[in-house]
């Protein structure tokens, strides 16, 4: 590794550092280096995120960048570490976890933390190997950027690199590294960790860090008699409620909503066995390991609320009063339904709200559920119907035509005041044509396993502007093939 000065390196890469998490002190992490992987190759790269990070485009395409984002070379000025956290997994206290395969390179001056996922063993790897396999890395990369383009808060993904180094899962697979970016990767589980160990001083340091950098308004709140930690809990509850409203409206199933996979910033984090619904089934379970359906699609809002109770329990030593903590959680119960209804109203092209909207939305979802109608195609066809006045493509999706016609009538009566062009425009910007369905990811993965990465690049391009038509790419917007329902995605990644 050549040693270049930090200033010279910034000129090359465009990156300058400012490590705020590292200032928390050694109780929060272990400093360590990524473990190299042999002969890396590019699997996917997000030019869009590179621009947002201020990365030099020429450098990002370089052989040095490939080594850096595989963990084989370290940029001067980075300060790699793995953080410790704990958490509840599938409703049970799991004790200490931590970044078992993610290594934080540091934070850029523009406030982006960069993390290599799959970059080798850490003190928190437990029984794991510190690696990530190609298939799940491609899924995380594509879905992070897809969610961002859909306007859903998420950690981002800059690139994926691969190596032929062997990784043992159910079968032998190959290794990959995803470079993730987010303002912070702090999870509910970070708070639970220090609370469970009775380390109130560290708990306070962590909460102060999060408030100062991400929720400064909590310092000056008049709510809860100026209790900044209660205000933090309320703000996190509200962001989480808004996130869940987005997931439920777009038809996104996370699959592993353990408290260690809940972002303190209300971001979608840790993409594992996630799925965008094909046919609308509220009880859909996307995680093959989730036999009890704890994280079924329709359970997600309640699970998030349960997880927030774990966060409240962890913050209790700082908040000081259980009643105040419960009061700080309460707004979830109004913010979630209100935000969900607002998202669904946008899907319906309604620019204003009316008391009967809730029933209109519920009736639509009941009709979809009854016949497991394709969720994404329904909304896109409904958008086209509002634009051109032709209901037939929507009607074609249903056997119960009478039921649908009755609903379409109430819908057209409801939107009588809104000009169709206005409604259709809103619907086209809200109802995507392209989502990362399992079978699309699977096809890109299978090509990538043969070293053809064009499928990853094509999907990325479509998912980066999912509301556009992308003529010539109809196959990516069609019904899933029969084999899609046989894809089994588990926690193994
Ligand atoms: P996840 O279900 O992917 O969110 O992971 C749960 C915990 O297991 C986290 O602490 C991860 O860092 C850790 N983990 C998952 N897979 C591995 C692996 N292959 N090697 C080391 N740690 C892992
Ligand atoms: Mg996780």
User: 260 C-alpha vs ligand 2 centroid, how far in Å?
Assistant: 6
Which atom belonging to ligand 1 lies closest to the Cα atom of 97? 10
Which atom belonging to ligand 1 lies closest to the Cα atom of 491? 2
* Count of domains observed in the chain: 3
Query: Which of 157, 182, 207 is the endpoint of a domain?
Result: 182
Query: Residue 70 falls within a domain, yes or no?
Result: yes
Determine the angle formed by the axes of helices 134-149 and 454-464, rounding to 10 degrees. 20
d(CA 458, CA 152): 21
59 and 138 housed in the same domain = yes
Nearest Cα to 97, choosing from 198, 180, 192? 192
**In 143-162, which positions are buried (b, 16+ CB within 10 angstroms) versus exposed (e)?**
bbbbbbbbebbbbbbbbbbb
User: 272 C-alpha vs ligand 2 centroid, how far in Å?
Assistant: 8
237 and 379 housed in the same domain = no
* Predicted local distance difference test score (pLDDT) of residue 10: 76
What tens-digit pLDDT sequence spans the chain (493 residues)?
Answer: 556 778 777 778 989 999 999 999 999 999 999 999 999 999 999 999 999 999 999 999 999 999 999 999 999 899 999 999 999 999 999 999 999 999 999 999 999 999 999 999 999 999 999 999 999 999 999 999 999 999 999 999 999 999 999 999 999 999 999 999 999 999 999 999 999 999 999 999 999 999 999 999 999 999 999 999 999 999 999 999 999 999 999 999 999 999 999 999 999 999 999 999 999 999 999 999 999 999 999 999 999 999 999 999 999 999 999 999 999 999 999 999 999 999 999 999 999 999 999 999 999 999 999 999 999 999 999 999 999 999 999 999 999 999 999 999 999 999 998 899 999 999 999 999 999 999 999 999 999 999 999 999 999 999 999 999 999 999 999 999 999 999 999 999 9
* Predicted local distance difference test score (pLDDT) of residue 6: 80
User: 444 C-alpha vs ligand 2 centroid, how far in Å?
Assistant: 24
State pTM to two decimals.
0.97
Query: Residue 477 falls within a domain, yes or no?
Result: no
Query: Which of 154, 182, 210 is the endpoint of a domain?
Result: 182
Ligand nearest to the CA of 95: 1
Query: Residue 460 falls within a domain, yes or no?
Result: no
Domain assignment of residue 397, given as a range: 350-428
Q: Are 117 and 102 in contact (CB under 8 A)?
A: yes
What does each C-alpha distance from 136 to 143, 181, 185, 354, 452 come to in angstroms? 10, 17, 19, 43, 17
111 and 46 housed in the same domain = yes
Query: Residue 479 falls within a domain, yes or no?
Result: no
243 and 301 housed in the same domain = yes
178 and 192 housed in the same domain = no
* Predicted local distance difference test score (pLDDT) of residue 14: 85
76 and 201 housed in the same domain = no
Ligand 1 within 6 A of CB of 128: yes
18 and 122 housed in the same domain = yes
Q: Are 162 and 176 in contact (CB under 8 A)?
A: yes
Query: Residue 166 falls within a domain, yes or no?
Result: yes
225 and 293 housed in the same domain = yes
Query: Residue 165 falls within a domain, yes or no?
Result: yes
72 and 143 housed in the same domain = yes
Nearest Cα to 146, choosing from 396, 376, 422? 376
Query: Which of 373, 394, 428 is the endpoint of a domain?
Result: 428
Pocket test for ligand 1, best of 35, 37, 95, 100 (most atoms within 8 A of CB): 100
Which atom belonging to ligand 1 lies closest to the Cα atom of 493? 16
Query: Residue 84 falls within a domain, yes or no?
Result: yes
361 and 220 housed in the same domain = no
297 and 321 housed in the same domain = yes
The catalytic residues are 260
Query: Residue 303 falls within a domain, yes or no?
Result: yes
211 and 318 housed in the same domain = yes
């Amino acid at each position: 590794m050549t040693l270049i000065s930090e200033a010279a390196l910034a000129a090359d890469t465009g990156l300058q550092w400012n490590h705020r998490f590292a200032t928390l002190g050694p109780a929060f992490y272990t400093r360590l280096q990524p473990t190299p992987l042999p002969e890396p190759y590019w699997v996917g790269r997000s030019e869009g995120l590179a621009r947002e990070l201020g990365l030099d485009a020429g450098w990002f395409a370089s052989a040095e960048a490939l080594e850096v984002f595989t963990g084989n070379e370290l940029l001067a000025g980075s300060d790699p570490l793995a953080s410790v956290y704990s958490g509840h997994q599938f409703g049970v206290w799991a004790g200490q976890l931590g970044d078992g395969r993610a290594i934080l390179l540091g934070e850029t001056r523009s406030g982006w933390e960069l993390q290599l996922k799959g970059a080798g063993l850490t003190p928190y790897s437990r029984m794991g190997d510190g690696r990530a396999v190609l298939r799940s890395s491609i899924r995380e990369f594509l879905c992070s950027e897809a969610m961002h383009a859909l306007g859903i808060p998420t950690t981002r993904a800059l690139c994926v690199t691969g190596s032929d180094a062997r990784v043992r899962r159910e079968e032998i697979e190959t290794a990959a590294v995803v470079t993730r970016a987010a303002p912070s990767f702090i999870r509910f589980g970070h708070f639970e960790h220090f609370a469970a160990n009775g380390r109130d001083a560290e708990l306070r340091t962590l909460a102060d860090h999060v408030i100062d950098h991400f929720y400064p308004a909590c310092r000056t709140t008049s709510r809860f008699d100026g209790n900044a930690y209660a205000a933090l809990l309320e703000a996190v509850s509200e962001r989480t409620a808004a996130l869940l409203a987005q997931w439920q409206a777009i038809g996104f199933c996370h699959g592993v909503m353990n408290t260690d996979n809940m972002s303190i910033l209300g971001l979608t984090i840790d993409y594992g066995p996630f799925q965008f619904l094909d046919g609308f089934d509220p009880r859909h379970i996307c995680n093959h390991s989730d036999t009890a359906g704890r994280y079924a699609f329709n359970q997600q809002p309640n699970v998030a609320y349960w997880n927030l109770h774990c966060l409240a329990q962890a913050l209790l030593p700082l908040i000081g009063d259980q009643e105040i903590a419960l009061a700080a959680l309460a707004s979830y119960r109004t913010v979630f339904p209100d935000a969900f209804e607002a998202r669904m109203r946008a899907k319906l092209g309604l620019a204003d709200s009316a008391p009967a909207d809730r029933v209109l939305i519920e009736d639509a979802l009941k009709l979809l559920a009854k016949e497991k109608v394709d969720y994404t195609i329904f909304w896109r066809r409904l958008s086209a119907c509002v634009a051109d006045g032709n209901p037939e493509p929507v009607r074609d999706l249903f056997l119960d035509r009478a039921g649908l016609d009755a609903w379409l009538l109430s819908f057209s009566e409801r939107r009588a005041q809104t000009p169709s062009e206005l409604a259709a425009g809103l619907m086209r910007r809200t109802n995507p044509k392209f989502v990362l369905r399992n079978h699309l990811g699977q096809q890109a993965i299978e090509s990538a396993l043969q070293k053809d990465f064009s499928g990853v690049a094509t999907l990325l391009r479509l998912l980066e502007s999912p509301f556009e038509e992308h003529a010539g790419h109809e196959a990516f917007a069609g019904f899933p093939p029969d084999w899609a329902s046989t894809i089994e995605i588990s926690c193994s990644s």
